[in-house]
Structure 1
Amino acid sequence: MMFYDYLKIYVKAGDGGNGCVAFRREKYVPFGGPAGGDGGRGGHVILRADPGLRTLVDFHFQRHFKAERGGHGEGKERHGKNGADLILRVPVGTVVRDAATGRVLADLVAPGQEVVVARGGRGGRGNARFATPTERAPRFAEKGEPGEERWLELELKLLADVGLVGFPNAGKSTILSRVSSARPKIADYPFTTLEPCLGVVRVGEGESFVLADIPGLIEGAHTGAGLGHKFLRHIERTRLLIHVVDMGGTGGRDPVADFAAVNRELALYNEELARRPQVVAANKMDLPDAEANLERFRAAAAGYEIFPVSAVTGAGLDQLMFRVAALLRELPPPPLSVPTEAHTVVAPVRVRVENGVFVVESEAVARRVAMFDLENPEAVRRLQDYLVRAGVDAALRAAGVKAGDTVRVGNATFEWVEGKN
């Protein structure tokens, strides 16, 4: 199975149900009256973090999702039912962004955590809601408000305490298989690991941490070269890095150059990653040239804690894991990508002219206009009143609209009539 950790999906909340135009016809009610019920709210689209999921693979096969619309209002002031919410399950650790703006909507880091990514439209009000002492028989009802729709970016970042980084074939997967019950695929060729793998390391009674094996990096990984760039995001949440370096010089590799190259790629991808605490696992100490390479490496990597280990024999791994556990007890958790509290800002109405058409640019106005039935004269009159109150009338006049000009608001197009707007 492929490891999917970044996808785009389209979500559409349910439209609100239409309000109803109806009148009472009861035997003992002498004058009757409006009795149209309201439409129901459209269903929301909700993302929920599910600890049972590991990847975003389910969204690879279906990218478009739509919630149920609200029921229409009926006579005798019967309201339509609310549309069912659509709940989409995603792995814990999923970051949700608006694809159009790049704004982070949520960082789902706790099992069961939810976020509403598209809100259902309001139900339209029935004509019973518009009755007044001066207008006792309104023949107007609102249509349901359209549900929100948007493209989302889903990015999975594994929730691990420690990340194994290093060049391909440095021995990261073998170390993970030695210190945990994880069984990554291991073979003697470059890019042996094609997807991140998690394992739980137990270092004592009631003490453990999560270790992630990140596919190997190469020069230029931050720009898209090799496989490692696809998975650098998975070490952003880790508190500590174990930098695995091949001391055996396998394939003519130079441990000093490899160490510098990987750290450079981390810094180019995310400067904060380069400052993340690191310990060095000087691996493959069972090979003939390892001791000589280790002495040279110690001089070049002064200031780093270096642990000579052999993933093949297991030598030195216990000391490394106990030291990592001790460091984790002292380190704070990394900051999460949680959006700051947003304040609602009412954007001013703007008008632009496109091929002779006056286009009103306001999402709020467009959503409101969609609730008016433009075939109903009374609805049109109420729409005209709303456009004046919302400042659309003034914005159009300032833009130079004249009688007979075409005006477009959202999906609605109408002709400007002077003196009636």
Structure 2
Amino acid sequence: MHDIRFIRETPELFDKGLASRGLEPLAQSIISLDDRRKTAITTLQNSLEKRNSLSKEIGQAKAAKDEARAQQLMADVAKLKEVIPQLEAEERQIQQELDELLSAIPNTPGADTPVGKDEADNVERHYFGTPREIDDPKQHFELGEAMGLMDFEAAAKLSGSRFVVLRGQLARLERALGQFMLDLHTTEHGYTEVNPPILVRDEAMYGTAQLPKFRDDQFAVSNGLWLVPTAEVPLTNLVRESLLSEEELPLRVTALTPCFRAEAGAAGRDTRGMLRQHQFMKCELVSITTPEQSAEEHERMLSCAEAVLKKLDIPYRVMTLCTGDMGFASMKTYDIEAWVPGQKTYREISSCSVCGDFQARRMNARYRPSEGKNPRFVHTLNGSGIAVGRALIAVMENYQNSDGSVTIPTALVPYMGGLTKIGG
């Protein structure tokens, strides 16, 4: 959610941010609507004050036995009682229009976010590792199906397309990856493990900006609840409607959860294999900070996510996303892309974003500065630490052997009961 005062004070800067995302100017439309809201509030307040004043005059007229005056005043109050509900409804309607308009506008990019139209304009930040030389590399689904441990047909019978059944050692390898990530982030990176609900209310989805704009990309269930598309939703909303102390910040939490996405905007993309699933496991990182801490925390979060791939010895690159490719709530995003030999390219495996106070305003999440100043909105950050299914893909394809087996990365051997290879 945007700060209406910021829009009023710096309309050109606000519109410049929207233009960098390919959007038309909106500052004047927002200001005009806010002017209408203020006028409606003033009119309503004046009418309420006049009603109260007239009511006092009625008592005075009756005390003075001026019945004619009392009757006239009572008639005036009766008219106001008819008008006031209409004014209240008008004020609510304008406020709703303003809220709906503001909630549909993406976050304004940070000053150091590269301007561009789409992924072609993303900027390479750095690389890690050198892709291995693999003769005739197979894709993960070719390896998994040949092992008899990755079954898309069985999943389709159960749930339809974009689901998978993993069996035996491959199922254990996916579990091992998730546990490895949690252990790394909690023991070495200072995150607190959380086991949150994966069913959340509208308010939680609104708070992190999945609603209302991305409603079609979500899975709704009964009783007004939603399956989480990412643990970012429950983890970030842990501080909704809260007033934290500055001493509590930065607050760092992590969770390993199933995630669910309808992928309505991705029809026809990555239909083979596990790259784009309706259900997947992901280890999420969330930080709540002061505004002064957020830029440094963003760099720290990126390094924590990178550490997963470094310990697995998976080659990757980091991209700074341009304004046209960045997520709705983000003001700056780093994507980590792992090398996948089967496709001979890099594919996204983690996104780390700083959102400023954009989500905090939607959640009313604030903190009180240690010097006793007025409460301020926190800054929120989120990142994949990392997507488990895509990590499984990267491990399978980078550690594949000519006989169809997959070597277990050294970091995962303890989580596999000492097993060093599967399949083949």
Instruction: State the TM-score, normalizing by the size of structure 2.
Output: 0.20
State which structure, 1 or 2, has the greater radius of gyration over its C-alpha atoms: 1
